[in-house]
């Protein structure tokens, strides 16, 4: 289906090969060997590697500590704001 549109175009990685798929991330035309389908969507080798690395990277301990500090601070501010807004609304009505 998609292949029909790439008859006169060539793979971005292998200029001697005919293009057979369009990478849906970088929009490069790639050959059958360079294209991989993931969840039904075509990706080139580089974009697939980027996606795989992104899903493999885990959060560091420092990120979790930072997150906990920010969330605690936000919760403190939010709970006080809720009470303050509630008191002001009660005065209005």
Partner 1 sequence: MLGILLAYLLALYGRAVFIRACNLRLRSVSLRPSAIWRVPLAQAATYLYTSLITLVLFYSFALTFLAIPMVLVLIGLSAATYPFNERLDLIRPFKEIWQSLTQLKILLAVSFVFSVALLLAFVNLNAAFQFSLGLVSEVAGLDMPAWERIFSGNHFKLLVFAGACMAVEPFWLAANVVYIRKLKAKHSGEDMRLWFDLIHAGRAS
Q: Which residue ranges make up the site for partner 1 (CB under 8 A)? A: 1, 22, 24-25, 39-42, 54-55, 57-59, 63-64, 66-67, 70-71, 74-75, 77-79, 81-82, 84-85, 88-89, 93
In the structure encoding, which two tokens stand for residue 69, read together?
């500090």
Task: Decide if 12 contacts 25 (C-beta within 8 A).
Answer: no
What's the closest the beta carbon of residue 67 comes to partner 1, in angstroms? 6
Residue 49 vs 78, nearer CB to partner 1: 78
CA separation for the pair 30, 24 (Å, rounded): 11
What's the closest the beta carbon of residue 79 comes to partner 1, in angstroms? 6
Is residue 66 classed exposed, middle or buried when 0-12, 13-18 and 19+ CB atoms within 10 A define those classes?
Answer: exposed
Residue 22 vs 31, nearer CB to partner 1: 22
């Amino acid at each position: 289906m998609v292949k029909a549109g790439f008859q006169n175009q060539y793979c971005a990685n292998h200029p001697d090969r005919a293009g057979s798929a369009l990478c849906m991330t970088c929009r490069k035309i790639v050959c059958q060997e360079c294209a991989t389908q993931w969840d039904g969507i075509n990706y080139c080798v580089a974009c697939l590697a980027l996606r795989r690395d992104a899903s493999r990277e885990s959060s560091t301990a420092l990120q979790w500590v930072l997150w906990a500090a920010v969330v605690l601070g936000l919760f403190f501010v939010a709970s006080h704001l809720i009470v303050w807004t509630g008191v002001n609304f009660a005065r209005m009505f």
